Chains A and B, each alone.
Chain A
Amino acid sequence: MRSEFSLLGLSMSLSRGDVENIAHLARLSVTDAEVTVYANSLSSILALVEQLSATDVSDVEPMAHPLAGQVQRLREDEVTAIDAREKYQQNAVKVDAGLYLVPKVIE
């Protein structure tokens, strides 16, 4: 990616190439017209986000959970889900013999 985030007067504007690269990382097809629109709007969002750079956060612990003291519970490693494969596969575009079909991956 070309643009650099600097906390002091950065260039926040994204080029078409930046947007094409982000879209590829996000696995999104984008048209030429969309690239132009996203270059503009993502740049304005980054300009909004740039407000965060003025605050001194050197001694601040990042917040991983909105409730103090709460941690993610872990459950016992045992089977709890019922087998509902047939039901789930009713939502699939292409299945055969219980398998989800995709384009050939290995030549």
Chain B
Amino acid sequence: MSQLHTKTLSELAKGLKSREFSSVEVTGHFLNRIQKFNSELNAFITVTADSALHQAAAADALLANGKGGVLTGLPLAHKDIFCTDGVLTTCGSKMLSNFIAPYDATVVSLLQQAGIVTLGKTNMDEFAMGSSNETSYFGTVKNPWNLNKVPGGSSGGSAAAVAARIAPAATGTDTGGSIRQPAALSSLTGIKPTYGRVSRYGMIAFASSLDQAGVMCLSAEDAALLLQAMAGFDPKDSTSVNDPVPDYSATLNQPLKGLRIGLPIEFFNDGLTPENAKPVREALAEYEKLGAQLVDVSLPNISLSVPTYYVVAPAECSSNLSRFDGVRFGYRCDSPRDLMDLYKRSRGEGFGAEVKRRIMTGTYVLSAGYYDAYYLRAQKIRRLITNDFANAFKQVDVLMGPTSPTPAFDIGAKVDDPVTMYLNDIYTIGANLAGLPAMSIPCGFISELPVGLQIIGRHFSEAKLLNVAHVYQHSTDWHKRIPQRYA
């Protein structure tokens, strides 16, 4: 039983079906590991041990009768951005440090209906604003590969939990790279689906035209299982797309012969050191061996993706976060003098520094006289960037490159310099601006720190991305490496 945590979700699913072990045993094993390791990692904000064991017992009852689906009885952690009925939902903020969600996010209820056992809620950058999980009100999360390093962000708690095998999989959200960058820095498989593929209902909003839910797990095979349950139309999300969801597991093994892989030359220019490029280049060579063809492509406006994002995302965040006013829910300051004082001090005291910085950036770019110069211009450049991707996809099936310019950096190294921190997402933001699906998969190490390969696809090509990732994982074992301390 001691090795249950080294299994992938797919392997655990087989063991549950064959009754080799029970869901109560699996769930109990991960809860024990959370108890043992969470204090050093700070990956979980809330652990729902009692309800997890109840859900596991219910799953076992189903499985004993030969019922239940492929996910029945499998444990998972939710990023604390997803509302969970009756359970503390903080979004990593003091503002919501007392907020008990009154309903479930669609992602949460879909996974629950599929039989998933919820272990708890994972730590994250406050309101998903950050690339290092250092902006959380609940403290910094540590990288299981090196406890002095950041796990990436904003889904850093989910990343650390899965990398340390204290949860076999976790949900995440990705507005500018918040699934892919922590997946890369923590040696995980992470997928951000196409905008609109997974419901945003009950997922606390940051930037509504960019936010998308996804998963972080140990393999593309696992990601296919989870995404199958999460994807689909939701009338409660007005941007949810009503297109059929393909069978993601069915096409995982399709051969890659003839696959055309585009390498955006801008992703391999001076910004990427030869040392950091090496694992990515080796992965590309592996794809060539698998029969794929490498083609240089250009995304001429991609260098503008970070500045475009830092207009669009703060603008949308300043609007979304105006709902936190200290009146109906969330933090309220002590003894407000009047209503204005209540608003200002509840928000000033309830939000952390990075969130306030982004609200103010957004307020500024949307303020009278500045809208055309900033927001409208950024939305035009967003179209140019999107057109660049569309042109590239006329020549190739997928794009590949690095997920992050460097492996995990030291905790504290970039906290005082927001612009340097923002540039961590230089390779990931483009897919959010264009609404494209994208993954990060483990492809090697630099100085014992994991490196991720990013794969970007056409709209709604999740099945292709998972196929491309799975075939690589079938012939390599980077995704099977476990940090020694947690093996």
Assembly CA distance A35 to B220 (angstroms): 46
Shortest 4 CB-CB distances between A and B: which pairs? Answer: A66-B435, A29-B348, A62-B379, A91-B329
Specify which of B196, B308, B422 is in contact with A52 (CB 8 Å cutoff).
B308
Flag the segment in B73-81, B96-104, B155-163 that touches A.
Answer: B96-104
Query: Is B14 an interface residue, CB under 8 A from the partner?
Result: no
Q: Is the CB of A29 within 8 A of B196?
A: no
Query: Is B258 an interface residue, CB under 8 A from the partner?
Result: no
Assembly CA distance A65 to B364 (angstroms): 22
Q: Is the CB of A44 within 8 A of B359?
A: no
Query: Is B34 an interface residue, CB under 8 A from the partner?
Result: no
Specify which of B99, B311, B339, B351 is in contact with A49 (CB 8 Å cutoff).
B311
Specify which of B102, B357, B369 is in contact with A87 (CB 8 Å cutoff).
B102
Give residues of chain B (331-372) contacting chain A, Cβ–Cβ below 8 Å: 332, 336-345, 347-349, 351, 353, 356-357, 359-361, 363-365, 367, 369-370
Query: Is A97 an interface residue, CB under 8 A from the partner?
Result: no
List of B residues within 8 angstroms of A105 by Cβ: 338-339
Contact A51:B307 (CB < 8 A) given known A57-B377, A62-B376? yes
Query: Is B310 an interface residue, CB under 8 A from the partner?
Result: yes
Q: Other than the known A1-B364, A63-B379, what 9 A-B pairs have Cβ atoms closer than 8 Å? A: A23-B348, A29-B344, A44-B419, A51-B307, A57-B377, A84-B103, A91-B99, A92-B328, A104-B338
What's the least CB distance linking B357 to chain A, in Å? 6
List of A residues within 8 angstroms of B434 by Cβ: 66
What's the least CB distance linking A68 to chain B, in Å? 8
Q: Is the CB of B386 within 8 A of A66?
A: yes
What's the least CB distance linking B303 to chain A, in Å? 8
Q: Is the CB of B359 within 8 A of A55?
A: no
Main SS of the interface on chain A? Answer: loop
Main SS of the interface on chain B? Answer: helix
Flag A5-33 by CB within 8 Å of B: 1 or 0 each.
10100000010000100111111111000
Assembly CA distance A38 to B308 (angstroms): 20
Contact A66:B377 (CB < 8 A) given known A42-B361, A72-B239? no
Q: Is the CB of B383 within 8 A of A60?
A: yes
Query: Is A64 an interface residue, CB under 8 A from the partner?
Result: yes
Q: Is the CB of B379 within 8 A of A88?
A: no
What's the least CB distance linking A57 to chain B, in Å? 4
Q: Is the CB of B357 within 8 A of A91?
A: no
Query: Is B302 an interface residue, CB under 8 A from the partner?
Result: no
List of B residues within 8 angstroms of A45 by Cβ: 310, 357, 361, 418-419, 422
What's the least CB distance linking A86 to chain B, in Å? 10
List of B residues within 8 angstroms of A104 by Cβ: 338
Query: Is B380 an interface residue, CB under 8 A from the partner?
Result: yes
List of A residues within 8 angstroms of B322 by Cβ: 27
Contact A63:B238 (CB < 8 A) given known A28-B359, A103-B342? no
Flag B288-305 by CB within 8 Å of A: 1 or 0 each.
000000000000010110
Q: Is the CB of A1 within 8 A of B367?
A: yes
Q: Which B residues are within 8 Å of any A CB, using their own CB?
A: 98-100, 102-103, 194-196, 209-210, 235, 238-239, 241, 301, 303-304, 306-308, 310-311, 318, 322, 325-330, 332, 336-345, 347-349, 351, 353, 356-357, 359-361, 363-365, 367, 369-370, 373-374, 376-384, 386, 418-419, 422, 432-435, 459
Flag A47-78 by CB within 8 Å of B: 1 or 0 each.
11111110101001111111100101111000
Assembly CA distance A19 to B308 (angstroms): 22
Assembly CA distance A68 to B364 (angstroms): 28
Assembly CA distance A63 to B307 (angstroms): 16
Specify which of A14, A22, A28, A37 is in contact with B344 (CB 8 Å cutoff).
A28
Q: Is the CB of B357 within 8 A of A41?
A: yes
Q: Is the CB of B310 within 8 A of A60?
A: no
What's the least CB distance linking B341 to chain A, in Å? 7
Q: Is the CB of A25 within 8 A of B363?
A: yes
Contact A29:B379 (CB < 8 A) given known A60-B384, A92-B329? no
Q: Is the CB of B328 within 8 A of A28?
A: no
Q: Is the CB of B363 within 8 A of A64?
A: no
- With most chain A CB atoms within 10 A of its CB, the pick from B322, B341, B378 is B378
List of B residues within 8 angstroms of A28 by Cβ: 344, 347-348, 351, 356, 359-360
Q: Is the CB of B364 within 8 A of A42?
A: yes
What's the least CB distance linking A64 to chain B, in Å? 7
Assembly CA distance A44 to B100 (angstroms): 37
List of B residues within 8 angstroms of A66 by Cβ: 195-196, 209-210, 386, 432-435
Specify which of A52, A73, A90 is in contact with B304 (CB 8 Å cutoff).
A52
What's the least CB distance linking B297 to chain A, in Å? 20
What's the least CB distance linking B90 to chain A, in Å? 12
Q: Is the CB of B318 within 8 A of A26?
A: yes
Assembly CA distance A45 to B311 (angstroms): 9
Query: Is A93 an interface residue, CB under 8 A from the partner?
Result: yes
Assembly CA distance A27 to B308 (angstroms): 25
List of A residues within 8 angstroms of B432 by Cβ: 66
Query: Is A79 an interface residue, CB under 8 A from the partner?
Result: no
Q: Is the CB of B386 within 8 A of A63?
A: yes
Specify which of A27, A37, A52 is in contact with B307 (CB 8 Å cutoff).
A52
Contact A91:B102 (CB < 8 A) given known A57-B381, A103-B336? yes
What's the least CB distance linking A62 to chain B, in Å? 4
Q: Is the CB of B383 within 8 A of A63?
A: yes
List of A residues within 8 angstroms of B99 by Cβ: 91
Assembly CA distance A57 to B341 (angstroms): 42
Q: List 23 A-B contacts (CB under 8 A).
A: A1-B367, A1-B369, A5-B373, A5-B374, A24-B344, A26-B356, A27-B322, A28-B347, A38-B357, A48-B307, A49-B307, A51-B304, A52-B304, A52-B307, A52-B374, A55-B304, A60-B380, A62-B379, A64-B209, A84-B103, A88-B102, A90-B100, A103-B336
